[in-house]
Amino acid sequence: MSSARAWIAARSMRQRLLLAALAGGLGALGLAPFNLPLLALAGFAGLAILVAGADSNRLAALTGLAGGTGYFALALHWIVEPFFVDPWRHGWMAPFALVFLAGGLALFWAAAAWAARHFGPTPGLRLGLFTVTLALAELARAYVLSGFPWAHPGHVWLGGPMMVLSAWLGPHGLTVLTLGLSSGLAAGLIWHRAMLLLPVATLGAAFALSSLVPSAPEPAGDAAIVRLVQPNAPQHLKWLPEMVPVFFERSLRLTAEPPQQDREPDLVIWPETALPALLRHSEDWRAAIGEAAGEARIIVGGQRLETDGTARNSLFLLEEDGALAAIYDKHRLVPFGEYIPLSGMARAAGLRGLAEVMGEGYSPGEGPVELDLGALGTVFPMICYETIFPQFIRRAERPDWMVQITNDAWFGEFSGPYQHLELAQLRAAEQGLPLLRAANTGVSAVIDARGQVIASLPLGQHGALDAALPPALPATLYARSGDSPVGVLLIFLFGLLLWRSGQIGIDPGRQRP
């Protein structure tokens, strides 16, 4: 195996950085729509080998930067899609958005690689340190500057049998497991093939443990029936004056369709911003929705403008006649989409949020809430982007189920909507709660308490879906503890490796007198 290290040592800096970028891109193949987690492990292992073999702190940091850029450029390439909804106005921003997003997120990986090389005197310790520092960097990425917990390395298991381990480990525990497996694979490739038995055995044990997570119970015979409405309004047509009534009438027809189950729906859910008018001008529109829904209550996304001019992206709970029963305002908005950070400077440069349709863009709501739906229990509402954050639900009382309304028409039909769906599945699995998802262009889905999609509407099609509301599981370990245990574990491991490397305390290589 020393020949592999010798081959890498003989590569020029440019060649090593290219290899790092390719390894990062290979890691991204674990995410939707590719879903190739074993290839992802090989990619992360390759990057770990390159970091461990770096000749200097500077080269290690550049290697981490190249690997992260390759990873995020492929994983998040869907970010260019919103700029082509109105290409004459925003198309020129698309390449800059991808470069800055991928490169900016890769800075976390560069810092992790630098720390691994700086504190690790030997390649073996650097492998261990890179596992810990990269996991810490990813944990920080989920919270720093409002956080962006999308495309973590642990997400390569989403949609597969290993995803249910999130009930115990949470999303960052999955990342620690993923990076640990990759470092074990790297150690086997660098030193001795027999060492490959350890990651193989760990992977097998993880698969076995996943089978111990309780199965999702079946809905009871009297479970509430929920209808998901998917109008499939392409974003470039959605707000054209002549198309607004077309999509609204389509949604009404889908709402009024005969029941697909043995009884009428108890609740109808429309997607984000599906109400065509501002709330204050929507009485007739809401009455039409109520008439189409019959005896069912309705959840519908819409916009509202307060008397002081503050605009909100909201979820409305309507009674059977369309009367307003409750409002939830989206509190975590999409940067550069629904609002512009440092808006004064940005607007002076001519920049506006892509999803702005009113004045200065949206303002955030007060925070997470739960809605009481009576016989349907309590529900935790999330609008689009909010579903990627696992911590919000812990700020409210544990609900009976979760709902997400979203408009993924912004993100094309290749990867973005599928990754967003899998993040919704992760929220369900880690909380042990079912999640119902109404998406404008798809994928609308019913997700059980283990995170499995039990019914769905295909991407890019209009339709309605009736399903019995799945029951919840007891609160999971992650639902009770959150990310703190993983954070404490990583800090402990980092300190232990520093001690082992002689950076703190007694140098383990120095004999006692």
By annotation, the residues acting in catalysis are 272, 330, 384
Bridge partner residues of 312 (DSSP)? 304
Q: Which of 265, 324, 274, 323 is nearest to 293 (CA)?
A: 265
Q: Note the Cα 3 to chain centre separation in Å.
A: 40
Backbone angles phi and psi of 230, in degrees to 5:
-125, 95
The SS3 call for residue 493 is: helix
The DSSP letter of residue 200 is: H
End-to-end CA gap in the chain: 37
Q: Is 89 exposed, middle or buried (0-12, 13-18, 19+ CB in 10 A)?
A: exposed
The SS3 call for residue 317 is: strand
The DSSP letter of residue 264 is: -
Residue in this structure with the two tokens 């029951």, named with its chain if needed: 471
Q: Tokens standing for 110?
A: 């560069």
In angstroms, rounded to a whole number, what is the distance separating the alpha carbons of residues 161 and 207? 7
* Contact in structure between 360 and 343 (CB atoms under 8 Å): yes
> One-letter amino acid identity for 148?
F
* Contact in structure between 401 and 373 (CB atoms under 8 Å): no
Residue in this structure with the two tokens 């958005």, named with its chain if needed: 97
Q: What is the dihedral of CA 135, 139, 142, 144, to 10 degrees?
A: -120
* Contact in structure between 464 and 228 (CB atoms under 8 Å): yes
Half-sphere exposure of 147 (CA within 13 A, CB side): 17
In angstroms, rounded to a whole number, what is the distance separating the alpha carbons of residues 265 and 447? 17
Q: Note the Cα 245 to chain centre separation in Å.
A: 32
Q: Tokens standing for 163?
A: 């995803």
Q: Which of 414, 407, 371, 370 is nearest to 392 (CA)?
A: 370
In angstroms, rounded to a whole number, what is the distance separating the alpha carbons of residues 146 and 469? 33
Q: Note the Cα 373 to chain centre separation in Å.
A: 27
In angstroms, rounded to a whole number, what is the distance separating the alpha carbons of residues 118 and 51? 11
User: Strand ranges (DSSP E) for 206-343?
Assistant: 225-230, 267-269, 297-305, 311-318, 324-329
> One-letter amino acid identity for 338?
E
* Contact in structure between 436 and 466 (CB atoms under 8 Å): no
